[in-house]
A = this chain, B = another copy of it.
Amino acid sequence: MKGPSVAVFGAAGFTGALAARLLDRHPWFELRTVTARSEVGRQLVELYPHHRVSLELEELDLERQAAVKAAVVAYPHGQAATLVADLRGRGVRVVDLSADFRLRDAAVYEQWYRAHTKPELLAEAVYGLPELYRERIRSADLVANPGCYPTAALLALAPLAREGMLEDIVIDAKSGVSGAGRATTEKTHFVTVDENVSAYGVPGHRHTPEIEQELAALGARLRVTFTPHLLPLDQGELVSCYVTLAPDGQRDLAPLYEKTYAEEPFVELSTAPPGVRDVRDTNICRISVHRDLRPDRAIVFAAIDNLWKGAASQAVQNLNLMFGRPEGEGIS
Which A residues have a C-beta under 8 Å from some C-beta of B? 14, 49-50, 168, 170, 172, 174, 176-178, 182, 184-186, 188-200, 202-204, 208, 222-225, 227, 229, 231-236, 238, 240, 242, 244, 270, 273-282, 286, 290-295, 297, 299, 301, 303
Let me know if A199 and B278 touch, CB within 8 A.
no
- Residues of chain B within 8 A of A49, CB atoms compared: 270, 274-275, 278, 286
A189 touches B190 (CB 8 A): yes
| C-alpha spacing A307/B294, complex, angstroms | 29
* Across-interface contacts of A279 in B (CB, < 8 A): 50
Contact B203 A276 (CB under 8 A): no
Q: Which of B197, B227, B236, B281 contacts A196 (CB 8 A)?
A: B236
CA separation between A270 and B199, bound complex, in Å?
A: 13
Q: Is the CB of B191 within 8 A of A189?
A: no
Select one of B170, B189, B203 contacting A293, CB under 8 A: B203
* Chain B residue, CB-CB nearest to A172: B172
- Name A178's closest neighbour in chain B (CB-CB): B191
Task: State in angstroms the CA–CA spacing of A244 and B169 once bound together.
Answer: 11
Inter-chain contacts of A176 with B (CB < 8 A):
195
Within the complex, the shortest CB–CB distance from A49 to chain B, in Å, comes to 4
Q: Is the CB of A242 within 8 A of B195?
A: no
Contacts A227-B299, A294-B223 known; A275 to B196 CB distance under 8 Å? yes
Contact A14 B191 (CB under 8 A): yes
Distance, CA A178 to CA B277, complexed state (A): 14
* A277 with B195: CB separation less than 8 A: yes
A170 to B244, CA, bound (A): 10
The answer to whether A242 and B270 touch (CB under 8 A), given A184-B184, A281-B281, is: no
CA distance A203 to B293 in the complex (A): 8
Q: Identify which of A168, A270, A292 gathers the most chain B CB atoms within 10 Å of its CB.
A: A292
Let me know if A236 and B197 touch, CB within 8 A: yes
Q: Which 10 A-B pairs have the closest CB atoms?
A: A198-B275, A203-B292, A172-B172, A199-B273, A223-B295, A184-B184, A49-B278, A177-B190, A196-B277, A170-B242
Q: How far is the CB of A153 from chain B (nearest CB, A)?
A: 14
Q: How far is the CB of A13 from chain B (nearest CB, A)?
A: 11
Q: List, in ascending order, chain B residues with CB within 8 A of A275's CB.
A: 49, 196-198
Structural contact, A234 and B295, CB atoms closer than 8 A: no
B240–A172 touching, CB < 8 Å: yes
A188 / chain B contacts, CB cutoff of 8 Å: 184, 189-191
| A193-B190, A194-B233, A290-B202 known; A50 vs B278 contact (CB < 8 Å) | yes
- Ordered by A's residue number, 30 sampled pairs between the chains whose C-beta atoms are within 8 Å are A49-B286, A50-B278, A50-B282, A170-B297, A174-B174, A174-B197, A177-B189, A177-B191, A178-B191, A182-B189, A184-B185, A188-B190, A190-B232, A191-B234, A194-B232, A195-B195, A195-B233, A195-B236, A195-B276, A195-B280, A197-B275, A197-B276, A198-B274, A199-B299, A202-B273, A202-B301, A203-B293, A222-B295, A225-B295, A229-B238
